[in-house]
Amino acid sequence: MRVVVILGQVLDPGGIVVKRSAGRIFVNRKEYLIQPADRSALEAALRLRDADESVEIVALPRGPLPDDDLLRRALARGADRAIYLTGPAGFASADDAVMAAVLAAAIARLGGADLVLTGDRTLDSGQGQLGLRLAETLGYPQIVAAWQVTVEDGAVQAVVRRGDAYLTVAADLPAVVTLPAGALTLRYPDGVRLINIYKGVGEIAAALEQWDVTELVSAEALSPAWSLLGKDFPPERERGVRVEGSPEEMAQAVAAALRQKIGSGR
Amino acid sequence: MESYLDLLMAQQGEVTIEAAGGGGVWVVADVQDGSLAPVTLEAIGAARLLADSLGAYVYAVLLGDGVGDLAAVLFQAGADGVRVADHPALARLGLEPYLAVLADLFAAEQPEVVLFGATEQGAELAPRMAQRTGGGLVEHVVALDLDESTRTVRGAVPIYGGEYFEVVACPEARPQFFTVEPGAFSSPYLDKFRKGEPTPVAVEPVEAAVRVLGPAEGFTPPPVPLARAPVIVAAGRQAGDFALVEELAAALGAQVAGDRGAWDAGWVEAAQVVDVRGVEVAPEVYLAVGIRGDTFHNAAIEGARYIVAIHPDPDAPLFEVADLCVEADPRAVVPLLLKAYQA
Ligand SMILES: Cc1cc2nc3c(=O)[nH]c(=O)nc-3n(C[C@H](O)[C@H](O)[C@H](O)COP(=O)(O)OP(=O)(O)OC[C@H]3O[C@@H](n4cnc5c(N)ncnc54)[C@H](O)[C@@H]3O)c2cc1C
Ligand SMILES: Nc1ncnc2c1ncn2[C@@H]1O[C@H](COP(=O)(O)O)[C@@H](O)[C@H]1O
C-alpha cells in the first residue's frame, strides 16, 4: 500500500513580531516548522506503517519550497521516499489549485496512491483547500479533519468530530484524509537516519529525489488564480481599560467582555 | 414581489438576468439541526452589499430534507431568489449528493460569486466546487470588498489567527468562491415584508462515499497543551480560593493555569506554570485571577489576544499589559462573575 503524505512548512510564529501601528511584520528568527496539521498527517502515515510493514510512505510538498529541509525531516522520521519539486521562476507563486494539478501528476508518476494524507488547515493562512482540491482532481472520496486513521480490508476508517461527539466513518481506498493539528503527536526523528540524510550518505540519502514540475504539467497549469493584493493590520490594542463600579457591575462588565471574546474565537 | 433592483432594472429596460448570462452572488445555506446557521444570514448580508455594487441578484441555495420553510427567512434577509433542493438523500451532509446538486445548479446558472459559511459544510464543499468549476477560493474571510472595474471580490484572510490579515482575490477565476468566518459579518435586518417564491431543484439521489459506522467508542481526543489552549484562566496568590478559579475555568471552557505563586501554593503543577521559564501561552483570552504579574509572567503571555486581570492592588504590573483591568478582590468578584457569565 502506498501512502502519500503532503507536507508544508510555516514560519515559526514565535519568531515573528507584528507591529500593528507601523503596519509591519518583523521576523526576528527565521525558523520553519512543519505545518502543525501536516505533522498529524505524517504521524498517521508512520502509524499505518508501524501496523503494516508493507506500507510505503512517500512525502510530497504542499507548495513550492526554498530548499529540501522539510523533506529531509520527513525522511529522518521514517518516510521511504520524498520528492523535492522544482520548476521555473513562476512555480514559486503556485497556489493550491496549481499544486492540486502538480501533485495529481506526481502521484500518477509514482504509480498512484492508495491513501493521501495531509493537514486540514495551515497554521498561517488557515486554508484547507489543498487536500480537497487534490481529492477532486483525483476523483477520490475525502474525510476531513480525522483524529485517528486506520486501514482495514481496502477501506480507511477515521474518527471525526460531529458537534460534541466523535464518530467512526469509513471510505473505500483510494481516498484523501485530512487531519487537524494536535490530533497525533509527531515522533522524533531516528538519530542515524537524521545524520545520514543530512550527510547525504547511505540508502536514505537516495530516497530524496528531485523532480521538475514542467515534466509533470503544462505551463498553463502553473499559472495561479490566487493573488495577494496587500496586508491589513488590526487596530492597535487599547490596553488598560479599567472597569468601574460595584463588584456586581464589574462582574457584569467582565462577563459581557468574555462572552464576546470567547464567542468570536476561532 | 418585485425588489428595488427589479424596478431599477425594469426602468433601464435592457439588462436582464438572462442577458447577463446568469451570474449573481450566491450563498449556499448551512442548515444545522433544522435551522439556518447564523453565518448563513451573515453571508446573505455580505452578498447583498456585493450584489448591490455589482448590479446583480442574490441567490441562496437550500439543501436538506424538509428545509423548504427556511426559504422565507432567506428572502427576509435579502435573497432575491432561493433554490431549494429538498430530498431525503440530503438529510445529512454528504459530499457526493451535495456536490451533485451544486455542480448541476452552478453549471446552469454560472454564478459570479459564491459564499459558503466557514463551517464543516463549507470546508467540505467549497474546495471541491472550486476545483470542479475552475473557480478561485479564499477560505475564512473576515471582510469582503469589491473592485468594481474588474468585478473582482477581495477577501481579508486572518494570518496566524488574526495577528494580521492578507487581502486576497482570484481576479481571473470564475466563480469566485469564499468561505466567510462565522461572526465576522453583521447579521442583516430581517425585513418581514420581503417575500419571494422559492424555486425547487430536482435532486437525483447519489450515494455518499463516506459511510458513518457509528459513535467512536472509547475515543478521547488528546488534551490540548496549555501552550495552544484558546482560553486560559490562571490563578495567582491573591486568588484566595483556587476551587473557585477551577469552577470559573470550567464554566468558560478554559484550561487552568497559574503563576509561580500558585505553584508555590501547590495549586498547579509545573506544567501549568505560565512563565517564560515555564510555559509560554498565546490564547484568545487570558483571564488572570489574583496574579500580580512579574516580568517573567508578563513576557510569557505576550501572545495572548485579550487579557483580563483581576487584582486588588492598583499598582500590580499586570495592569500595564492587560486589556481589561478589574481592580478588586477576586474573592468578591469571581463568584459574581461566575453567576453573571452563566446567566
Ligand atoms: C545530526 C543533525 C544534523 C543536522 N544537520 C542539518 C543540516 O545540515 N542542515 C539543517 O538545516 N538542519 C540540520 N539539522 C536540523 C534539522 O534540519 C531540523 O531542524 C531538526 O531535526 C528539527 O527538525 P524537526 O522536524 O523536529 O522540526 P520541526 O518539527 O518543524 O520543529 C522545530 C521545533 O519547533 C517545535 N515545534 C514545531 N511545531 C510546533 C508547534 N506547532 N508549536 C510549538 N512548537 C512547535 C518542535 O518541537 C521543534 O523543537 C540537523 C540535526 C541533527 C540532529
Ligand atoms: N542541530 C543542527 N542544526 C542545524 N545544522 C546542523 C545541526 N547539526 C549539524 N548540523 C549541520 O549538519 C551538517 C553535518 O553535521 P555533522 O553531523 O556534525 O557532521 C553540518 O553542516 C552541520 O553544521
Of B183, B215, B343, the CB nearest to A263: B183
Domain B226-342: homologous superfamily in CATH: TPP-binding domain (3.40.50.1220)
Ligand nearest to the CA of A198: 1
**Residue environment code for B213-226, b if the CB has 16+ CB neighbours within 10 A, otherwise e:** eeebeeeeeeeeeb
Residue A265 has pLDDT above 50, yes or no: no
Binding site membership of A194 for ligand 1 (Cβ less than 6 Å): yes
A252 to chain B: which residues are within 8 Å by CB? 340
How near does any CA of chain B get to the CA of A116, in Å?
15
pLDDT of residue B12: 54
What is the Cα–Cα distance from A171 to B96, expressed in whole angstroms? 12
Residues within a 6 A CB radius of ligand 2 = A 195, 198-199
E runs forming strands in chain A? 2-7, 9-11, 16-19, 24-27, 32-34, 56-61, 81-86, 115-119, 142-143, 146-152, 155-162, 165-172, 175-179, 208-212, 227-232, 241-242
**Which residue, among A178, A185, A173, has the nearest Cα to A161 in the 3D structure?**
A178
Within 8 A by CB and 6+ apart from A81, the residues are A56, A57, A58, A59, A207, A208, A209
**Cα A200 to middle of ligand 2, angstroms:** 12
A76-88 pLDDT per residue, tens: 999 999 999 999 9
What is the Cα–Cα distance from A254 to B333, expressed in whole angstroms? 10
Architecture of domain B21-200: 3-Layer(aba) Sandwich (3.40)
E runs forming strands in B210-323? 211-215, 231-235, 255-258, 285-289, 306-311
What is the Cα–Cα distance from A35 to A131, expressed in whole angstroms? 14
pLDDT of residue A48: 98
Nearest CA to ligand 2 atom 12: A198
Rg of chain A over Cα atoms, rounded to whole angstroms, equals: 21
What is the Cα–Cα distance from B270 to B291, expressed in whole angstroms? 17
What is the Cα–Cα distance from B289 to A230, expressed in whole angstroms? 40
pLDDT range class, residue A236, cuts 50, 70, 90: confident
* Angle between helices B330-342 and B242-252 in degrees, nearest 10: 30
Residue of chain A whose Cα is closest to the Cα of B308: A254
Residue A231 identity (one-letter amino acid): K
Nearest CA to ligand 1 atom 33: A33
Residue of chain A whose Cα is closest to the Cα of B130: A133
Residue to mutate, A73, A195, A196, ligand 1, most ligand atoms under 8 Å from C-beta = A73
**Residue environment code for B284-300, b if the CB has 16+ CB neighbours within 10 A, otherwise e:** bbbbbbbbbbbeebbeb
Ligand nearest to the CA of A185: 1
Q: Which atom of ligand 1 has the smallest separation from the CA of A67?
A: 11
**Cα A201 to middle of ligand 1, angstroms:** 19
Q: Which three cell numbers stand for residue A96?
A: 493550491
Indicate if B226-342 has the same CATH topology as B21-200. Answer: yes
Of B169, B210, B284, the CB nearest to A266: B284
Domain ranges of chain B: 21-200, 226-342
Nearest CA to ligand 1 atom 26: A188
Of B161, B212, B230, the CB nearest to A169: B212
**What three-state secondary structure class fits B42?**
helix
Phi and psi angles of residue A11, each rounded to the nearest 5 degrees, phi first: -65, 130
Ligand nearest to the CA of A11: 1
pTM: 0.87
How near does any CA of chain A get to the CA of B304, in Å?
11
Binding site membership of A195 for ligand 1 (Cβ less than 6 Å): yes
Residue B274 identity (one-letter amino acid): V
CATH class of A2-222: alpha beta
- What stretches in chain B show pLDDT beneath 50? 1, 13-21
A138-165 pLDDT per residue, tens: 999 999 999 999 999 999 999 999 988 9
How near does any CA of chain B get to the CA of A16, in Å?
10
B236 forms beta bridges with none
E runs forming strands in B160-303? 164-169, 176-180, 199-200, 211-215, 231-235, 255-258, 285-289
Cα B99 to Cα B90, B102, B121, B214: the distances in Å are: 11, 5, 11, 23
Of A16, A97, A261, the CB nearest to B285: A261
What is the Cα–Cα distance from B44 to B36, expressed in whole angstroms? 12
**Cα B235 to middle of ligand 2, angstroms:** 42
**Cα A106 to middle of ligand 1, angstroms:** 26
pLDDT of residue B23: 93
Domain ranges of chain A: 2-222, 236-266
**Cα A77 to middle of ligand 1, angstroms:** 11
Mean pLDDT of A94-123: 98
Q: What is the mean pLDDT of chain A?
A: 95
A247 to chain B: which residues are within 8 Å by CB? 328, 332-333, 336
Judged by CB atoms closer than 8 Å, whether chains meet at B164 and A251 is answered as no
Judged by CB atoms closer than 8 Å, whether chains meet at B167 and A171 is answered as no
What is the Cα–Cα distance from B140 to B160, expressed in whole angstroms? 12
B224 to chain A: which residues are within 8 Å by CB? 182
Ligand nearest to the CA of A194: 1
Mean pLDDT of A101-115: 98
**Cα A189 to middle of ligand 1, angstroms:** 9
Is the sign of the CA dihedral B3, B4, B9, B13 positive or negative?
positive
Judged by CB atoms closer than 8 Å, whether chains meet at A258 and B165 is answered as no
Nearest CA to ligand 2 atom 10: A198
pLDDT of residue A71: 98
Nearest CA to ligand 2 atom 18: A195
Judged by CB atoms closer than 8 Å, whether chains meet at A169 and B213 is answered as yes
Judged by CB atoms closer than 8 Å, whether chains meet at A142 and B159 is answered as no
What is the Cα–Cα distance from A237 to A20, expressed in whole angstroms? 9
Nearest CA to ligand 1 atom 9: A198
Judged by CB atoms closer than 8 Å, whether chains meet at B128 and A259 is answered as no
**Cα A150 to middle of ligand 1, angstroms:** 27
